[in-house]
Amino acid sequence: MAAGLRFDGRVVLVTGAGGGLGRAYALAFAERGASVVVNDLGGDFKGYGKSSSAADKVVSEIRANGGKAVPNYDSVEDGEKLVNVYNGSALMNKCTKIIMTSSAAGIYGNFGQANYSAAKLGLLGLSNTIAIEGRKYNIHCNTIAPTAGSRLTQTVMPQGELFNLYVFRHFSLCCMRWERSLGAIVRGKDQPMTPEAVRDKWEKVCDFNNASKPRSIQEVCHMDSESSNAFLVGRELTTKVYKYTHLEPILYALGVGMSTRDPDHLKFLFEGSEEFCCLPTFGVIPAQTSMFDGVPSIPGLDMDLAKELYGEKYRLLTVGQPGETLPNFTFLCLWNEM
Q: What is the mean pLDDT of residues 180-195?
A: 75
CA–CA dist 52, 33 (Å, integer): 24
In three-state form (DSSP H/G/I as H, E/B as E, the rest C), the secondary structure along the chain is CCCCCCCCCCEEEEECCCCHHHHHHHHHHHHCCCEEEEECCCCCCCCCCCCCHHHHHHHHHHHHCCCEEEEECCCHHHHHHHHHHHHHHHHHHCCEEEEEECCHHHHHCCCCCHHHHHHHHHHHHHHHHHHHHHHHHCEEEEEECCCCCCHHHCCCCCCCCCCHHHHHHHHCCCCCCCCECCCCCCCCCCCCCCHHHHHHCHHHHCCCCCCECCCCHHHHHHHHHHHHHHCCCCCCCCCCCCCCCCHHHHHHHHHCCCCCCCHHHHHHHCCCCCCCCCCHHHHHHHHHHHHHHCHHHCCCCCCCHHHEEEEEEEEEEECCCCCCCCCEEEEEEEEEEC
Residue 122 confidence (pLDDT): 93
Domain range list for the chain: 11-93+146-176, 178-231, 247-337
Q: What is the pTM of this model?
A: 0.54
Residue 314 confidence (pLDDT): 56
**Number of other residues whose CB lies within 10 A of the CB of residue 115:** 8
Catalytic residues: 116
The pLDDT tens digits for 321-337 are 544 545 444 444 444 44
The pLDDT tens digits for 11-45 are 899 988 888 889 999 999 999 999 999 998 877 66
State whether CATH 1.10.287.4290 applies to domain 178-231.
Answer: yes
- pLDDT greater at residue 171 or residue 96: 96
The pLDDT tens digits for 38-72 are 998 877 666 666 778 889 999 999 999 999 999 98
CA–CA dist 306, 63 (Å, integer): 39
- Mean pLDDT is lowest, of 62-71, 159-168, 180-189, 243-252, for 159-168
Residue 71 confidence (pLDDT): 92
- Mean pLDDT is lowest, of 127-136, 194-203, 239-248, for 239-248
Residue 176 binned pLDDT confidence (cut-offs 50, 70, 90):
very low
Q: 93 and 58 in contact (C-beta within 8 Å)? A: no
- Mean pLDDT is lowest, of 23-32, 38-47, 226-235, 240-249, for 226-235
**Residue 248, phi then psi, degrees to nearest 5:** -60, -50
Q: Residue type for 65, please?
A: N
Residue 81 binned pLDDT confidence (cut-offs 50, 70, 90):
confident
Residue 181 reports pLDDT greater than 50:
yes
Residue 163 binned pLDDT confidence (cut-offs 50, 70, 90):
very low
Q: What is the mean pLDDT of residues 191-218?
A: 78
Residue 5 binned pLDDT confidence (cut-offs 50, 70, 90):
confident
Residue 254 binned pLDDT confidence (cut-offs 50, 70, 90):
very high
Q: 2 and 200 in contact (C-beta within 8 Å)? A: yes
Residue 174 confidence (pLDDT): 43
Residue 139 reports pLDDT greater than 70:
yes
The pLDDT tens digits for 82-129 are 667 655 555 445 668 899 988 888 888 877 788 888 999 999 999 999
CA–CA dist 13, 11 (Å, integer): 7
Provide, rounded to the nearest whole percent, the portion of the chain with pLDDT above 90: 17
Q: 317 and 327 in contact (C-beta within 8 Å)? A: yes
Residues in the chain: 338
As its CATH architecture, domain 247-337 has Roll (3.10)
